[in-house]
């Protein structure tokens, strides 16, 4: 089945994504088969756009399916989790229908771009984007993947979001940005010289760290806006700001640039393709807006090393690769950035 440029597999297809765990045949028949059929019955191949399957409408039809599951089957479904880790009983009971949807979308990510009025988990949104792009997220396409995910997100709500949905959306936005960047930098991450920070005691410093002298180089990943949250990452250490920022005004104030540099930022990496709806409409992007702003005025600000402080996001991989090419830590330093 094909909706515009989105190809949906046959309704009798076996589970697609079983990376985490494979369900028993009983659970497959009792949950995945009827839920998958429910989604298929709501697909409109003549829909002018997607997403178009309203979760608010299929939620009541999902409840009877969940009611048929035994306690053992429900426990198995929770244990399957979404990607990694099980769903706690407390989290499940808080919203079983939404958790059930996430489980279905994790195993059938092709449906991820069809459902509206719900926020898919970050890993599902990224996996669905990979299917749409027809290739794994990499350095070459991660910005375009973000652009596609944002486009779908803008169309995903046909009603005003509730407060908890708004909060979930903000959290998802940050998770998607970090996950996309992790995939884009995957080939560089060796868990020794360059790794993703998982220790909550130091996570406030940044999301990734590259071993360097005179200070380790931290990467702070933010989503669409910098604001004070990016400044909070700096602790007079060496740090890079990385994000899919949509407001160039956040990076043209001399006072803000000075504040970023005071807490240790060596560079800000900004997207050079349209991200926001207005940028798509005007055929511009945050980095180009920065270039246009400084055109005919002072040059783009430099960091303490005399290099450009504001850089295109696509340059990040090259800059990090240059540092990691220096194998001996004693010779690897942030003065080259």
Distances from the Cα of 212 to the Cα of 12, 155, 230, 237, 321, angstroms: 52, 43, 21, 11, 13
Contact assessment for residue 210 and residue 323, using Cβ atoms and an 8 Å cutoff: yes
pLDDT in tens, 154-190: 889 999 999 989 888 888 888 888 889 888 888 889 9
pLDDT in tens, 44-99: 878 777 888 999 999 999 999 999 999 999 999 999 888 767 899 999 999 999 99
Token pair recorded at residue 79: 């244990």
Give the model's pLDDT for residue 151.
84
pLDDT for 253 beyond 60: yes
pLDDT class of 194 with cuts at 50, 70, 90: very high
pLDDT class of 228 with cuts at 50, 70, 90: very low
Give the model's pLDDT for residue 33.
92
Mean pLDDT along residues 277-299: 85
pLDDT for 229 beyond 60: no
Give the model's pLDDT for residue 140.
82
What is the three-state SS of the chain? Answer: CEECCEECCCCCCCCCCCCCCCCCHHHHHHHHHHHHHHHHHCCCCCCCCCCCEEHHHHHHHHHHHHHCCCHHHHHHHHHHCCCCCCCCHHHHHHCHHHHHHHHHHHHCHHHHHCEECCCCCHHHHHHHHHHHHCCCCCCCCHHHHHHHHHHHHHHCCCCCCCHHHHHHHHHHHHHHHHHHHHHHCCCCCCCCCEEECCCCCCHHHCCEEECCECCCEEEEEECCCCHHHHHCCCCCCEEEEEECCCCHHHHCCHHHHHHHHHCCEEEEEECCCCCCHHHHHHCCCHHHHHHHHHCCCCCCCECCCCCECEEEHHHHHHHHHHHHCCCCHHHCEHHHC
Mean pLDDT along residues 313-330: 93
Give the model's pLDDT for residue 84.
65
Residue % of the chain over a pLDDT of 70: 90
Torsion on CA atoms 279, 245, 54, 34, rounded to nearest 10: 130
Integer Cα distance of 308 and 185 in angstroms:
21
Mean pLDDT along residues 265-289: 88
Give the model's pLDDT for residue 110.
86
Integer Cα distance of 31 and 103 in angstroms:
10
pLDDT for 291 beyond 60: yes
Token pair recorded at residue 51: 């997403």
pLDDT class of 226 with cuts at 50, 70, 90: low
pTM: 0.77
CA 80 from chain centre, in angstroms, equals 22
Average pLDDT, the chain: 86
Token pair recorded at residue 318: 């090259």
pLDDT in tens, 108-148: 888 998 999 999 999 999 999 998 888 899 888 888 888 88
Give the model's pLDDT for residue 4.
59
């Amino acid at each position: 089945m094909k909706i515009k440029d989105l190809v949906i597999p046959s309704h009798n297809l076996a589970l697609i994504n079983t990376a985490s765990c494979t369900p028993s045949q009983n659970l497959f028949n009792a949950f995945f088969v009827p839920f998958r059929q429910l989604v298929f019955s709501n697909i409109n191949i003549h829909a002018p756009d997607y997403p178009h399957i309203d979760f608010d409408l299929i939620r009541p039809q999902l409840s009877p399916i969940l009611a048929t599951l035994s306690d053992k089957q429900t426990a198995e479904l929770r244990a399957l989790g979404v990607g990694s880790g099980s769903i706690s009983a407390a989290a499940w009971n808080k919203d079983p229908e939404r958790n059930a949807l996430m489980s279905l979308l994790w195993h059938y990510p092709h449906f991820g771009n069809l459902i509206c009025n719900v926020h898919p988990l970050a890993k599902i949104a990224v996996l669905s984007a990979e299917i749409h792009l027809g290739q794994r997220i990499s350095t070459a396409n991660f910005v375009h993947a973000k652009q596609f995910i944002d486009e779908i997100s803008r169309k995903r709500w046909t009603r005003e979001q509730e407060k908890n949905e708004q909060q979930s959306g903000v959290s998802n936005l940050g998770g998607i940005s970090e996950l996309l960047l992790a995939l884009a930098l995957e080939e560089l991450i060796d868990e020794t010289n360059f790794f993703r920070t998982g220790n909550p005691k130091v996570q406030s410093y940044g999301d990734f760290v590259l071993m360097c002298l005179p200070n380790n180089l931290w990467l702070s990943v933010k989503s669409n806006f910098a604001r004070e949250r990016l400044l909070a990452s700096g602790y007079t250490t060496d740090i890079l700001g990385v994000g899919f920022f949509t407001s160039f005004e956040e990076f043209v104030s001399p006072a803000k640039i000075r504040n970023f540099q005071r807490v240790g930022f060596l560079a800000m990496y900004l997207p050079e393709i349209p991200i926001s709806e207005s940028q798509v409409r005007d055929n511009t992007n945050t980095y180009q807006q920065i270039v246009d702003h400084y055109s005919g005025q002072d040059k783009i600000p430099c960091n303490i090393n005399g290099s450009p402080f504001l850089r295109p996001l696509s340059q990040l991989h090259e800059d990090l690769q240059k540092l990691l090419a220096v194998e001996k830590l004693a010779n690897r330093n942030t003065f080259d950035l």
